Amino acid sequence: MKNFKVLMMVVAAVVVIFSIFASHTMAQECPDVYFVDKPLPPAFRGVNYQELVSANVKPPNEYIDLGERQAAFTLTYSLVSGSLPRNLTLDAYGYIKGIPVAPLDNYSFGIKVQNGCGKYAQKVFFLTVSEPFRKVIQQNILDTFRKVSVPTGNLKNAKDELQDAYTRLDKSITIYLTSLEYYNNQISLCGNKDYTPNDRKAAGCTESDTPVQCDNKLIKACLGHDIKRLDFARKTLQKDSANFMAKATGLDNIIKILH
């Protein structure tokens, strides 16, 4: 009987020690970090931009103590590859902000988010810089037309040509913005696609590439046709914009001569 009591005391001690160890182990468990699937909206040159790169933490173990929980939910962001459009910055809280002055283009860069207990995630983001076309151009044509009272002769022809140029330009703007919206949707699909080793090889991934660099190549390969379509829409828009500005300048010169 005495031996049985001793045995029970030993078993109880082992259970207590195991419980303490298990509780301590669970308390030290650091929850995973992940990016929220949300593409970045386009930035417009000369217009203030501020967008939060969304990330989150998987629900931590219920045994995690308050200090560890706070560390788990304290997220810090950093740029790990590529570069942001000129004059835009990424702060430690995940905000991309600034007034872009970069050339019109599609930019890609890798961002890392890490919590206070060491878990992190990395992801490639894409950001397109565009002109605020309609706002600028509509204001331009309104300002020009205000100078024209009752157009006749060369003045009327110049105004009609400018109106035609604006109609073509407005159509180009619509096509470009539609292509841009489709492109941003495809970024999300390509970013969540399951890629095979053959896909990685075809995209040009090498053993020396970091995961972010390889992801960048994979997404660009996935977006191949969409990038070409967006580039074509942008070039058409730039051509029609230049034509519109030339017509506007011509009309403005006629007005100056007549006055």
Alpha helices, H only, the chain: 2-28, 66-72, 133-146, 153-191, 197-203, 211-222, 224-258
* Predicted confidence band of residue 126 (pLDDT cuts 50, 70, 90): confident
| Whether residue 141 is found in the same domain as residue 239 | yes
Domain assignment present for 79: yes
Q: Is residue 1 part of a domain?
A: no
Report if residue 26 sits inside a domain: no
CATH number of the domain to which 77 belongs: 2.60.40.10
Place of tokens 């105004």: 159
Confidence grade of residue 148 (pLDDT, cut at 50, 70, 90): low
Is the per-residue pLDDT at 213 higher than 50?
yes
pTM over 0.75: no
39 with 118, same domain: the answer is yes
How many domains would you assign to the chain?
2
The answer as to whether 250 is a domain residue is: yes
State the pLDDT at residue 94: 93
pLDDT at residue 146 greater than cutoff 90: no
Looking at the domain assignment, is residue 139 inside a domain? Answer: yes
Is there a single domain that holds both residue 188 and residue 118? no
In-domain check, residue 195? yes
Does 106 score more than 60 pLDDT?
Answer: yes
What range does the domain containing 72 cover? Answer: 31-130
Distance of CA 147 to CAs 103, 125, 251, 256, Å? 32, 45, 10, 10
Considering only residues 135 and 51, tell me which one the structure prediction assigns the higher pLDDT: 51
At 247, the pLDDT band (50, 70, 90 cuts) reads confident
Question: 177 and 246 share a domain?
Answer: yes
Average pLDDT over residues 51-73: 69
Residue 161 pLDDT more than 60?
yes
Q: Are residues 119 and 138 in the same domain?
A: no
The residue-averaged pLDDT of 142-164 equals 64
Model confidence band, residue 191 (pLDDT cutoffs 50, 70, 90): confident
Is-contact 185 128, C-beta < 8 A?
Answer: no
146 part of a folded domain:
yes
Average pLDDT, the chain: 76
Together in a domain, 189 and 225: yes
Instruction: Identify which has the larger pLDDT, 45 or 256.
Output: 45
When mean pLDDT is compared across 21-25, 76-80, 133-137, the lowest value belongs to 21-25
Residues 188-198 have a mean pLDDT of 85
